[in-house]
């Protein structure tokens, strides 16, 4: 089936912008023209592709078309860059917040060398990144998922070690002898409600039924999460790279740690730029020492 490239690009613009009106601004056309293109694409395929909510959400059929559209857009941009100097190649990559705040700086330095590349890094939890890849929102993702989804390839980057840590004064007050019962009854800091690490740590040291018996604070920012622990709000699972830079954080027990494997998954299309990004990530992870725990 031949699909109009302009219609596919419009679908991408609407999903990325979140609305028909915002997409019209990005594309430089009227909102009516955007709506007509999407309607023509839906008529061509005989299916509704978008739920007209705010933000716009692709349907199951729309998700499949979206992924195809993004792959075609990437390959088309790479081909255009080879034969003529046109628009930059746009690539979206999902990355977990802890990676962004610890070992990603060398990645940016390497990508800065590509003058024809436009990067969008979508911050996501390492547990949820595959959904972005599956739906076509991104072309590649840093994830902790071992299984490779259909149509993608995977390469292990290494392992991020998280340790149960707290401010020294907090540890002396709430976990003075380092027992499991003390940890259960100590206030806890969690990244967000989808973050399992602190709960997994409690289960590891106090049993499968263990639940926090004190207050739980949610701080959904990697740097401020550590800042909250440094301020004495509670204990939390801190990545070792951040722990090394914290001035007044104490590891509660050397055996209280969780290793999170990290993988780079990308579409298995013949894309030179995705291959380069993968090589850059593997090198950066190795140089930061993540491979030592792999």
Q: What percent of the chain has pLDDT over 70?
A: 95
pLDDT of residue 247: 82
- Does 155 fall in a domain? no
- Does 182 fall in a domain? yes
pLDDT higher than threshold 80 for residue 112:
yes
Task: Give me the phi and psi of 45, to 5 degrees please.
Answer: -90, -15
- Does 193 fall in a domain? yes
pLDDT of residue 83: 56
- Does 279 fall in a domain? no
- Does 71 fall in a domain? no
- Does 273 fall in a domain? no
- Does 39 fall in a domain? yes
Interval 133-163: pLDDT, tens: 888 889 999 998 888 888 889 999 999 999 9
CATH number at residue 221: 3.40.190.10
Number of domains in the chain: 2
Q: Which of 44, 66, 88 is the last residue of a domain?
A: 66
Q: Which of 16, 35, 66 is the last residue of a domain?
A: 66
pLDDT of residue 71: 84
Interval 37-83: pLDDT, tens: 999 999 999 899 999 888 998 999 998 899 888 888 887 777 666 65
Interval 207-266: pLDDT, tens: 999 999 999 999 999 999 999 999 999 999 999 999 988 888 999 999 999 999 999 999
CATH number at residue 16: 1.10.10.10
- Does 87 fall in a domain? no
Which structural domain, as residue segments, surrounds residue 46? 1-66
Global confidence as pTM:
0.75
């Amino acid at each position: 089936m031949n699909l109009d490239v302009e219609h596919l690009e419009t679908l991408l613009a609407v999903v990325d912008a979140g609305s028909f009106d915002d997409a019209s601004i990005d594309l430089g056309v009227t909102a009516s023209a955007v709506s007509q293109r999407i309607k023509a694409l839906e008529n061509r395929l005989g299916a509704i592709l978008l739920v007209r909510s705010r933000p716009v959400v692709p349907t199951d059929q729309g998700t499949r078309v979206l992924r195809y559209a993004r792959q075609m857009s990437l390959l088309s941009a790479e081909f255009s860059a080879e034969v003529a100097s046109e628009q930059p190649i746009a690539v979206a990559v999902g990355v977990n917040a802890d990676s962004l705040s610890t070992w990603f700086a060398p990645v940016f330095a390497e990508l800065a060398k590509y003058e024809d590349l436009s990067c969008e890094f979508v911050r996501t939890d390492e547990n949820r990144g595959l959904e972005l890849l599956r739906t076509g929102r991104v072309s590649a993702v840093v994830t902790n998922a071992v299984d490779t989804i259909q149509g993608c390839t995977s390469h292990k980057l290494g392992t991020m070690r998280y340790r149960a840590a707290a401010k020294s004064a907090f540890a002396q007050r709430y976990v003075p002898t380092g027992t499991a019962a003390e940890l259960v009854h100590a206030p806890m800091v969690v990244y967000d409600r989808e973050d399992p690490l602190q709960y997994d740590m409690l289960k590891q040291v106090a049993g499968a039924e263990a639940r926090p018996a004190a207050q739980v604070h949610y701080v959904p920012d990697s740097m401020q999460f550590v800042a909250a622990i440094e301020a004495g709000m509670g204990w939390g699972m801190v990545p070792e790279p951040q722990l090394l830079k914290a001035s007044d954080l104490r590891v509660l027990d050397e055996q209280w740690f969780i290793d999170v494997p990290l993988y780079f998954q990308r579409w298995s299309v013949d894309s030179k730029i995705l291959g380069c990004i993968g090589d850059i990530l593997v090198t950066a992870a190795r140089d930061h020492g993540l491979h030592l725990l792999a």
